[in-house]
Structures are given as structure tokens and as C-alpha cells.
């Protein structure tokens, strides 16, 4: 076979292979919960048979042999010679191996050894009490190929190429493509209509120009009566043209708006994907981790045929994975411990999806040991004993850094899993809750089925346009200084007969800002965040608009401060703040960071100076560092940095290179030349990624040289932890 043709066939086979394995896995999962029907078994057999023929067509004898043995096992189950439940483990092992082996084949990496899993399949085929080796499947003759199992070359070459990275590619039905094509045709027609209207406006401008010219001529040569008649005629003509053009413009704008909404609805429909496309790898992951931990589990995933927006599914993938891993690490006990408790030695982890009120509900539960309240309270007593008195003290397990694990391994101990869940679900305007059960624990997540448009309040803060989702805004106010009172040193307003703390958003987001409550009157947003109400002072209120929320890219995408970005009516991006995280920032200011727990107490006290002329970069770095408990000051260039260093001692400096007045390299040189600062660690974080720039920075004494284009939040935090 031509190698180029074979590679194309392999790509097509990858998609077919995934489809067959998905159906077989679904059959095994259903059979583990309830008796299977002959039709279900026949479908699984047919899939194994088709997979065998397809593997033969692309010359993959390992997969061909495995599929042949899988087919033979289903035949024996169908004939009543073998029960299915004892085969679950070996069948799942082969399905997992088949995926890994094919991925290695496509990526041209070392392939796993098939001997053990094929031997296990062969052993399962043997009658009880026998030990003969199962002969290896001989190559199939083309004439004996099962009808319909070998792909037709013409049809294969006509299919879309299936890439190995399926997350980046989705299948779209031809019907959806026809709808999109039809929409684009109508939009093109409206675009042509807009061009015609532009031409009409040009004609009106020409008429006005002619009128001006005529006016100048009339002033010299034409009698007054003739001027009146000529001008009256010209004005009537302009009026008619303007009215016609306005009417056509209104019609065209309405049609264009309708077409855009129609197109958006169709695109949203196309983006809908079954949850299985994202979650299908989770059972395999859990089985592998359970084997490494010496635990036995049964995975039950239901509702995976429910469709949701692909972006939503991608965004909840990590939270669901964290909860599943937590269930295995913290919930499911080892087999011996479960026996001692009178439980089935095989633990159960389930993930159930359903749709309620246009929301996607996800329940992740296990039958393990549940919450260890003694350990949680002990950990709370060590870190922040005041939280033990709160009604919602269990919410603390969703805070960054909280973990009851004594050691760190692949599964647990870093205290980041549940905080990832909380932040990710909050970004989607979803909800999460923890439900204790008689046995084990259940986490319930609620997120939208689709990415929807949001009503946004757009406002100005230090010259930067920002927005908040309108659902969190309770009221907009214009206050005087006399409207405020001081409660325990906190500026407060009385709103609906209750005290509401007032914060300057400028000082919260831009510490170098000189704003505050100095003006005689100022704009205030009353905001509802989780269980508290706060008030934010802003510079001015700009607009309220409906907009689609777009995900941020680059380092800003890692910040929980932002939900995303929206396009303003003028077409520029506006960052949308996360009300949940804004509330957390205000709580931290009240509790002096008591919720930010660190293994190293020095991190809470360390002072870091961030030097960068970009206000966005300064804010980004400051927010990341303060979320980890560091005290942060900022400077816009080297001169200001040196001034602040003379006033305040710092433990570490992070600097950009290209800045006005004094750049980062000159600042670095002066720091290292001064005896009082020579031992101070300096991290260079810049967009200059040339080898010469890196070499120069390190030669001047930089402790690390990080490039912004490759910026990773965790890398920066780990580097700081090492230097401190």
C-alpha cells in the first residue's frame, strides 16, 4: 500500500476506532448496572467485528488480533458459555491498551507491549481448568474479509481528515453547513444593500456640494426669486433622498440584525457536542490511578449523551477531573479497609449528568469515607481558628492551599483541586455545592448549557473601561461625602437600612492610583457577591449593553479576577470582572489574608516590588502575587523603583526591561552594585526573548529571566518560592 495513502487511512481509522470503542465501553458500563439485552450484546459484537476488519485494512495486526479475541469473547457470552461480569476488567484493559497503542502509532512514539493484555484476553477465552495457549490469529485472507468491514478507498479518501488531537476538531453535519452557507448568502446580500446605501449617501453629498456651488453663483448673478425657486427644488430633492435612504437603512439594519441573530443561533447549535466527547477518557484515567494506588473501583458514567456547548464542556473538564481524582484519593478506601468496614472491596465512583431548567447538572459521588471532619477542623485550628465559628466553615475546603493530606503525590496534597473547581464554576456563572451522604460524598455542579449573552454594566476606573455582569448589580448611586459613615475605620454607606462597606475599586485594582473618597461626589455600584453586599466606588458609569462573553487569552486567562472580555459598542475589548472574586478581595482586606494559607509562613510576610511601565502587566502580576499571600508594591520604571527601595525594604524584585527613564537592566545593575541590595534576588520578566538579552540579564546578576510570551503563573510562583 502506498505510504501516503496508508497515513490518510490511519487518520480515518483513528476516528472509526474511537467510535467503536465508545460504543463497546458504553455497553460494558450499562451491563455493569443492569442486565443487558441480546440487541445490546449484538451491537457490541458487531463493533468488535468491524474494528477487526478496519484494523486489517490498515495493516495493524496487534489491534486486529485483540479485536478478534474481543469478538470471540462476545460470541461465548452470547452462547452462554461465559458470564460477562468477570470479563469486565480484562475487556476494559484491552480497550485502554488499544487507545494507548494507536496513539503511540500515530505520534510515532514507543508503543506499549501488547503481550500481557493479549495473553489476558486469550486466558479469558479458555474453558475453566485448562491452560493451553491460545493460538495467535493468522493473517486474514482478503477473500475471507467480513463483508462491509474494509473501508472503500473512494469513500475513505472523501472523508474529512481526522487529526489525532480530536479536541481541536469536531464533526459537523452537512445540514448544519448548508444552514451556515445559506446564512452567509443572506448576509452577503445585506452587505451589498449596505454598499448601495453608501452610494446613496454619496449622491446626497454631491447634491449638497452642488447646492453650495449654486448658492455662490446665485449670490452674484441670479435674481432673488430665481434663487428661491432653485433652492426650494434642491431642498425638496434632498429631503426625498434622505427619507428614502433612512427608510432603506432602517430596513437593512433590521434584516442584518435578524440574520446575525439567526447565524449566532445556528453557530451555537453547531457548537453543541455530547458530553461523551470530553468525558470519555475519565474512566480509563480512574482505573489507571486506582491500580497505582492499590484500590479497586467501579466507574459509572451516565447522561454522557447530553449535549452542551463545546466551550462549556472544555471549561468544566478540569473541575470534573479534580473531583473524580479527589473521590479516589480522599474518598475511596483500600480493599482491606473496606472489608473491615463491611463494605464491598470494590469502591464505586459515579458521574451523572442531566439537564434542569436549561442548566447542565453534574453530580460526582463516591461510596467512600466522606469528609473527615476531625482532620478538617484540626487543619482549621492550625491555620485560622476563627473560621471554626462560621456557619459555612465547610466552604473553606474550596480555598487555595487547603489540604488535609500529609504528603504530596500525583493525586493529592497540594491543596489546589477544589479551588480550581470553585474558580472555574464561578467563571461560568455556575454553582457548586457539597452534599454529605450516608456513605461517601457528592459534589453537585450547575453550569449553563450554552455560552450566552450577558447584560453588562460598563464603567470607567482609572481611565480603563471595565464591566460587571448586571445580574450582580443591585443599584447604581451618586453619593456625597456626607452620605458616608465610618464603622470600625471602614467607610460605609447605609443602603436599604443596612450598613454596606464601601471600597475604592481604583485602589483595589490599581494600587498606585491616587483615587479614593476625596471627591465631593462620586459614582457607586452596589454589588451582590455570594452572601455579602458591598459597594464599589468607580470613576464614572458609561453604559449598559448586551454582549457575548469571550474567554481571555495569555496570562490574564489564569486570573480568577476576570470572567472574560466583551466587545464595546465601539469595538474595543472590555475586561469583565468576576463578582465572586471581587467579593473575595474585599473579604481578604477585612481578614488580613487569613484565608490564604501557605506551608511557608515567610511567604505571608515577604515584600515584592513589581517594576513595569504597563499598568495591565503590573495589575496582573500584583493580583497573582497577592493571591498567594505576598505583600506587593509597584513602580512604573527603574527610577521610581529605586526611590521605593530606599523607603521600604523588599525581599524580591520583579522587573521588565524596556521602560522609560531607567530600564530594567540599568535598575538591575544599580541594585547589584549597591552593597545593601547586592544579595536581593531580581527576576527579569520581559518580552525580549533573544538569547543575547537573556545572557546580558543573567550576567548582570538576575536570579531568573522569564519571557512574557511563555509566561506561566505556576512557574513564576515556584521560582519566587525557591528564591525566598
DSSP for 270-303, written as a single string: HHEEETHHHHTTHHHHHHHHHHHHT-EEEEEEE-
pLDDT in tens, 664-682: 999 999 999 988 898 899 9
Check whether 532 has a pLDDT greater than 60: yes
For the chain, percent of residues with pLDDT exceeding 90: 18
**Claim to verify: residue 118 and residue 182 sit in the same structural domain:** no
C-alpha cell at 226: 430665481
| Structure confidence at residue 414 (pLDDT) | 36
Number of domains in the chain: 5
pLDDT in tens, 70-101: 989 998 898 888 899 889 889 998 998 988 88
Check whether 189 has a pLDDT greater than 80: no
3-state secondary structure 384-430: CHHHHHCCCHHHHHHCCCCCCCCCCCCCCCCCCHHHHHHHHHHHCCC
Check whether 333 has a pLDDT greater than 90: yes
**Claim to verify: residue 575 and residue 601 sit in the same structural domain:** no
Report DSSP letters for 15-74, one per residue.
HHHHHHHHHHHHHHHHHHHSPPPHHHHHHHHHHHHHHHHHHHHTT-HHHHHHHHHHHHHH
In a domain? residue 400: yes
pLDDT in tens, 264-310: 777 777 778 888 888 888 888 898 889 888 999 998 999 988 999 88
In a domain? residue 162: no
Task: Tell me if residue 487 falls in helix, strand or coil.
Answer: strand
Q: Which residues contact 551 (CB under 8 A, 6 or more apart)?
A: 311, 557, 564, 565
Rounded Cα–Cα distance for residues 460 and 84 (Å)? 65
**Claim to verify: residue 579 and residue 615 sit in the same structural domain:** no
**Claim to verify: residue 463 and residue 557 sit in the same structural domain:** yes
- pLDDT bin (cut points 50, 70, 90) of residue 218 is low
| Structure confidence at residue 170 (pLDDT) | 58
**Claim to verify: residue 221 and residue 336 sit in the same structural domain:** no
- pLDDT bin (cut points 50, 70, 90) of residue 516 is low
**Claim to verify: residue 293 and residue 256 sit in the same structural domain:** no
Report DSSP letters for 28-41, one per residue.
HHHHHHSPPPHHHH
In a domain? residue 507: yes
In a domain? residue 488: yes
In a domain? residue 163: no
Under 8 Å between Cβ of 285 and 94 = no
pTM (predicted TM-score): 0.53
Nearest CA to 301 out of 286, 311, 316, 322 is that of 286
Burial of residue 321, with CB atoms counted within 10 A of its CB: 0-12 exposed, 13-18 middle, 19 or more buried: buried
CATH number at residue 531: 2.40.50.180
**Claim to verify: residue 290 and residue 409 sit in the same structural domain:** yes
CATH number at residue 641: 3.40.50.2300
Task: Tell me if residue 134 falls in helix, strand or coil.
Answer: coil
In a domain? residue 373: yes
How many other CB atoms are there within 10 angstroms of residue 158's CB atom? 8
Task: Please count the residues of the chain.
Answer: 724
- Residue numbers of the domain that contains 695: 596-723
pLDDT in tens, 620-632: 788 788 877 788 9
pLDDT in tens, 710-719: 666 777 887 7
In a domain? residue 143: no
Structure letter (DSSP) for residue 328: I
**Claim to verify: residue 34 and residue 152 sit in the same structural domain:** yes
Rounded Cα–Cα distance for residues 536 and 512 (Å)? 18
Burial of residue 40, with CB atoms counted within 10 A of its CB: 0-12 exposed, 13-18 middle, 19 or more buried: middle
The arithmetic mean of pLDDT across residues 48-59, rounded, is: 82
Domain boundary among 404, 428, 448: 448
Check whether 702 has a pLDDT greater than 90: no
Nearest CA to 91 out of 69, 64, 76, 111 is that of 69
| Structure confidence at residue 631 (pLDDT) | 87
Domain boundary among 409, 424, 448: 448
CATH number at residue 91: 1.20.120.160
The arithmetic mean of pLDDT across residues 159-179, rounded, is: 50
**Claim to verify: residue 405 and residue 470 sit in the same structural domain:** no
Under 8 Å between Cβ of 602 and 578 = no
Q: How far from 628 is each of 3, 168, 534, 611, 652, CA to CA, in Å?
A: 53, 33, 23, 18, 15
pLDDT in tens, 407-464: 434 444 434 457 778 878 877 878 888 887 888 889 999 999 887 677 899 999 888 8
Q: How far from 710 is each of 168, 686, 705, 716, CA to CA, in Å?
A: 21, 10, 11, 11
H or E element, residue 266 = helix 224-271
Task: Tell me if residue 576 falls in helix, strand or coil.
Answer: strand
**Claim to verify: residue 504 and residue 581 sit in the same structural domain:** yes
Centroid of chain to Cα 606: 31
For the chain, percent of residues with pLDDT exceeding 70: 74
| Structure confidence at residue 704 (pLDDT) | 83
Domain boundary among 573, 590, 607: 590
Nearest CA to 466 out of 505, 434, 499, 494 is that of 505
Q: How far from 206 is each of 209, 238, 673, CA to CA, in Å?
A: 5, 10, 70
C-alpha cell at 528: 451582590
**Claim to verify: residue 546 and residue 650 sit in the same structural domain:** no
The arithmetic mean of pLDDT across residues 500-517, rounded, is: 73
C-alpha cell at 114: 501488547
Q: Residue written as cell 452462547? A: 79
In a domain? residue 625: yes
φ, ψ at 575 (rounded to 5°): -65, 135
| Structure confidence at residue 667 (pLDDT) | 93
**Claim to verify: residue 691 and residue 705 sit in the same structural domain:** yes
Under 8 Å between Cβ of 608 and 631 = yes
Amino acid at each position: 500500500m502506498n505510504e501516503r495513502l496508508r497515513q490518510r487511512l490511519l487518520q480515518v481509522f483513528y476516528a472509526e476506532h474511537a467510535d467503536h470503542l465508545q460504543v463497546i465501553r458504553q455497553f460494558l458500563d450499562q451491563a455493569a448496572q443492569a442486565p443487558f439485552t441480546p440487541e445490546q450484546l449484538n451491537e457490541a459484537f458487531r463493533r468488535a467485528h468491524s474494528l477487526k476488519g478496519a484494523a486489517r485494512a490498515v495493516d495493524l495486526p496487534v489491534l486486529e488480533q485483540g479485536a478478534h479475541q474481543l469478538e470471540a469473547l462476545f460470541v461465548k457470552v452470547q452462547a452462554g458459555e461465559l458470564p460477562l461480569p468477570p470479563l469486565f476488567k480484562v475487556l476494559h484493559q484491552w480497550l485502554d491498551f488499544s487507545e494507548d497503542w494507536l496513539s503511540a502509532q500515530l505520534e510515532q512514539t514507543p508503543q506499549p507491549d501488547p503481550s500481557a493484555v493479549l495473553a489476558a484476553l486469550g486466558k479469558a477465552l479458555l474453558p475453566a481448568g485448562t491452560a493451553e495457549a491460545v493460538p495467535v490469529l493468522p493473517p486474514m485472507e482478503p477473500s475471507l474479509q467480513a463483508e462491509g468491514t474494509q473501508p472503500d478507498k473512494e469513500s475513505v479518501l472523501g472523508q474529512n481528515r481526522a487529526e489525532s488531537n480530536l479536541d481541536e476538531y469536531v464533526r459537523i453535519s452537512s445540514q448544519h453547513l448548508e444552514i451556515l452557507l445559506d446564512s452567509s448568502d443572506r448576509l452577503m446580500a445585506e452587505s451589498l444593500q449596505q454598499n448601495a446605501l453608501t452610494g446613496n449617501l454619496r449622491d446626497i453629498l454631491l447634491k449638497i456640494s452642488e447646492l453650495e456651488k449654486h448658492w455662490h453663483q446665485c449670490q452674484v448673478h441670479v435674481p432673488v426669486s430665481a434663487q428661491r425657486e432653485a433652492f426650494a427644488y434642491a431642498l425638496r430633492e434632498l429631503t426625498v433622498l434622505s427619507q428614502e435612504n433612512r427608510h432603506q437603512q432602517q430596513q437593512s439594519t433590521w434584516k442584518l440584525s435578524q440574520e446575525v441573530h439567526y447565524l449566532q443561533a445556528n453557530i451555537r447549535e453547531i457548537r453543541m457536542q455530547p458530553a461523551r466527547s470530553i468525558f470519555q477518557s475519565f474512566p480509563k484515567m480512574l482505573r489507571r490511578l486506582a491500580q497505582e494506588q492499590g484500590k479497586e473501583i467501579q466507574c459509572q458514567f451516565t447522561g454522557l449523551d447530553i449535549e452542551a456547548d463545546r466551550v462549556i464542556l472544555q471549561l468544566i473538564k478540569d473541575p470534573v477531573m479534580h473531583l473524580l481524582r479527589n473521590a479516589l484519593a480522599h474518598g475511596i478506601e483500600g480493599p482491606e479497609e473496606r472489608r473491615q468496614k463491611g463494605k464491598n472491596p470494590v469502591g464505586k465512583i459515579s458521574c451523572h449528568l442531566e439537564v434542569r431548567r436549561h442548566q447542565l447538572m453534574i453530580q460526582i459521588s463516591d461510596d467512600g469515607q466522606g469528609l473527615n471532619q476531625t482532620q478538617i477542623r484540626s487543619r482549621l485550628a492550625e491555620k485560622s481558628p476563627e473560621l471554626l465559628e462560621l456557619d459555612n466553615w465547610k466552604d473553606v475546603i474550596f480555598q487555595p492551599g487547603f489540604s488535609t493530606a500529609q504528603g504530596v503525590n500525583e493525586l493529592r496534597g497540594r491543596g489546589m483541586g477544589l479551588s480550581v473547581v470553585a474558580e472555574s464554576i464561578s467563571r461560568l456563572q455556575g454553582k457548586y455545592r457539597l452534599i454529605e451522604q450516608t456513605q461517601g460524598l457528592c459534589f453537585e455542579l450547575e453550569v449553563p448549557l450554552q455560552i450566552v449573552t450577558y447584560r453588562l454594566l460598563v464603567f470607567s476606573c482609572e481611565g480603563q473601561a471595565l464591566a460587571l455582569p448586571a445580574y450582580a448589580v443591585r443599584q447604581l448611586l451618586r453619593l456625597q461625602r456626607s452620605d458616608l459613615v465610618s464603622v470600625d475605620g471602614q467607610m460605609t454607606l447605609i443602603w436599604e437600612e443596612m450598613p454596606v462597606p464601601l471600597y475604592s475599586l481604583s485602589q483595589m485594582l490599581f494600587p498606585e492610583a491616587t483615587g479614593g473618597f476625596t471627591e465631593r461626589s462620586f459614582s457607586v455600584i452596589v454589588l451582590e457577591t455570594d452572601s455579602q453586599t458591598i459597594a464599589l466606588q468607580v470613576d464614572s458609569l458609561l453604559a449598559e449593553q448586551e454582549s457575548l462573553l469571550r474567554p481571555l487569552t495569555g496570562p490574564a486567562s489564569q486570573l480568577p479576577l476576570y470572567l472574560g472580555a466583551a466587545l464595546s459598542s465601539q469595538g474595543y475589548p472590555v475586561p469583565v470582572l468576576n463578582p465572586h472574586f471581587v467579593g473575595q478581595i474585599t473579604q481578604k482586606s477585612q481578614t488580613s489574608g487569613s484565608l490564604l494559607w501557605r506551608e511557608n509562613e515567610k511567604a505571608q510576610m515577604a515584600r515584592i516590588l513589581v517594576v513595569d511601565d504597563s499598568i495591565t502587566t503590573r495589575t496582573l502580576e500584583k493580583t497573582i502575587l497577592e493571591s498567594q499571600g505576598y505583600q506587593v508594591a509597584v513602580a512604573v520604571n527603574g527610577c521610581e523603583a529605586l526611590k521605593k527601595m530606599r523607603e521600604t525594604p523588599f525581599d524580591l524584585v520583579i522587573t521588565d526591561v524596556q521602560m522609560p527613564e531607567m530600564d530594567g537592566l540599568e535598575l538591575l545593575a544599580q541594585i547589584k552594585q549597591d552593597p545593601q541590595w547586592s544579595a536581593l534576588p531580581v527576576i527579569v520578566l520581559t518580552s525580549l526573548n533573544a538569547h543575547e538579552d537573556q545572557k546580558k540579564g543573567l550576567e548582570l546578576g538576575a536570579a531568573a529571566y522569564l519571557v512574557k510570551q511563555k509566561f506561566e503563573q505556576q512557574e513564576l510562583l515556584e521560582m519566587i518560592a525557591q528564591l525566598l
